[in-house]
């Protein structure tokens, strides 16, 4: 005869078994100490026993651990990416920093204790008086331990680039700027014209003028934005001209209006 299947244990009985197993495994732990470490151990035992017979809970716990590991890996990758992007800039500032001394205000007037922390560096103050090389020499002469700030490095590179381009570019004047702006406007109009033509060549006219932004549409076809004469627009005088008002006023009988010396009380007596 085939073996009979074992009777299924009810959820209530299974819960009692798990509770008894928890009490057996944690017996003595709660009474020995109330430390955080012991409490964490008790909670871990409870979770393991309570989730042992439920595959759904085990799966959720695994997913939670996996998600936690993924988030940790993402944070680590983001930190490595930031170091890769900005590490060179930070290294350029700190490359000349002396190993045996700590300079609290790098490249700033650190003799003045009352100066605000976010005050402008001395190099930035001197950049309008001398070029980058003279500025660096002056600062190093005043303070041998001077370390240039990131702003100083950028200003030095900017001045070097200006020297390289000196005499090669076009001076910016109101006339040259206006000519450049007009040239850019024409280039933009040509691009919009080509875009519209290509769109209308598509099947059923494509999207038509709806592909343009409001500004591009105005530049392309300004007449679309002009109000028509038959538009329902109420003017300040409701469409009545001053000449029409004067004509109507001529036919008004002024005797119907009371004069200044009329007494309204007399009307009541009558």
Coil, helix or strand at residue 115: coil
Does residue 148 belong to any structural domain of this protein? yes
CA-CA-CA-CA dihedral for 85, 86, 89, 90, to nearest 10: -150
How many domains would you assign to the chain? 3
Return d(Cα 30, Cα 41) in angstroms, integer: 10
Same-domain pairing of 163 and 214: no
Report pLDDT for 127: 56
- Evaluate whether residue 158 is within a structural domain: yes
Whether residues 195 and 161 fall in one domain: no
Tell me whether residue 47 is in a domain: yes
pTM over 0.95: no
40 and 56 in a common domain: yes
Tens-digit pLDDT string for the chain (270 aa)? 455 555 555 667 777 777 777 777 777 665 556 677 777 777 887 777 776 666 676 777 788 888 999 999 999 888 888 777 776 655 555 555 554 444 443 444 444 555 555 555 555 555 555 666 676 777 777 777 777 778 878 888 888 888 888 777 777 889 989 999 999 988 888 888 887 777 776 666 656 676 677 777 777 666 666 666 655 554 445 555 667 667 666 766 666 665 555 555 555 555
Considering the domain boundaries, does residue 201 fall inside one?
yes
Residue 43 falls inside a structural domain: yes
Please, are residues 67 and 59 in contact by the beta-carbon 8 Å criterion? no
CA–CA distance, 56 with 120 (Å, rounded to integer)? 61
Asked if residue 134 and residue 178 are part of one domain, the reply reads no
Asked if residue 66 and residue 16 are part of one domain, the reply reads: yes
User: Contact at 8 Å (CB) between 156 and 134?
Assistant: no
Assess whether 37 and 65 both reside in one domain: yes
Rounded CA-CA distance 200/207 in Å is 8
Distance separating alpha carbons of residues 231 and 247, to the nearest angstrom: 27
DSSP for residue 221? -
The whole domain housing 139 covers 120-169
Instruction: Return the biggest CA–CA distance within the chain.
Output: 131
| Measured torsion, CA atoms of residues 240, 245, 251, 257, in degrees rounded to the nearest 10 | 110
Q: Does 127 fall in a domain?
A: yes
Written as six digits, the tokens of 85 are 């992007």
In a domain, 213, yes or no: yes
- 3-state secondary structure (DSSP) of residue 223: helix
Q: Please report whether residue 149 resides in a domain.
A: yes
Specify whether the CB–CB gap between 147 and 97 falls below 8 A: yes
Please tell me what DSSP assigns to residue 204.
G
Q: How far apart are CA 196 and CA 182, in angstroms?
A: 21
At residue 7, the pLDDT reads 54
Q: Are residues 178 and 165 in the same domain?
A: no
218 and 163 belong to one structural domain: no
Same domain for 178 and 125?
no
Of 129, 130, 123, residue with least CA distance to 146:
123
Half-sphere exposure of 188 (CA within 13 A, CB side): 14
**Rg, Å, the chain Cα set:** 43
Same domain, 23 and 46: yes
What is the pLDDT at residue 263? Answer: 56
Residues 154 and 199 in one domain: no
Q: Which helix (H) or strand (E) holds 40?
A: helix 36-50
38 and 58 fall within a common domain: yes
């Amino acid at each position: 005869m085939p073996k009979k299947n074992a009777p299924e244990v009810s959820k209530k009985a299974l819960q009692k078994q798990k509770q008894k197993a928890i009490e057996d495994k944690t017996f003595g732990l709660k009474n020995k100490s109330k430390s955080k470490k012991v409490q964490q151990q008790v909670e871990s035992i409870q979770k393991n026993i309570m989730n042992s017979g439920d595959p759904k809970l085990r799966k959720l716990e695994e997913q939670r651990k996996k998600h936690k590991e993924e988030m940790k890996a993402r944070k680590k990758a983001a930190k490595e990416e930031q170091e890769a992007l900005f590490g060179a800039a930070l290294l350029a500032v700190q490359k000349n920093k002396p190993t045996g001394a700590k300079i609290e205000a790098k490249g700033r007037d650190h003799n003045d204790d009352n100066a605000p922390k976010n005050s402008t560096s001395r190099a930035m103050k001197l950049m309008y008086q001398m070029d980058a090389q003279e500025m660096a020499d002056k600062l190093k002469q005043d303070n041998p331990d001077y370390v240039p700030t990131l702003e100083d490095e950028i200003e030095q590179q900017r001045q070097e680039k200006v020297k390289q381009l000196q005499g090669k570019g076009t001076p910016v004047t109101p006339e040259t700027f206006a000519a450049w702006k007009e040239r850019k406007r024409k280039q933009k109009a040509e691009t919009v014209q080509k875009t519209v033509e290509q769109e209308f060549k598509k099947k059923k006219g494509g999207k038509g003028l709806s592909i343009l932004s409001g500004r591009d549409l105005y530049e392309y076809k300004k007449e679309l934005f002009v109000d028509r004469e038959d538009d329902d627009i109420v003017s300040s005088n409701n469409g009545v001209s001053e000449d029409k008002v004067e004509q109507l006023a001529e036919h008004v009988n002024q005797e119907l209006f009371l004069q200044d010396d009329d007494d309204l009380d007399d009307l009541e007596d009558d």
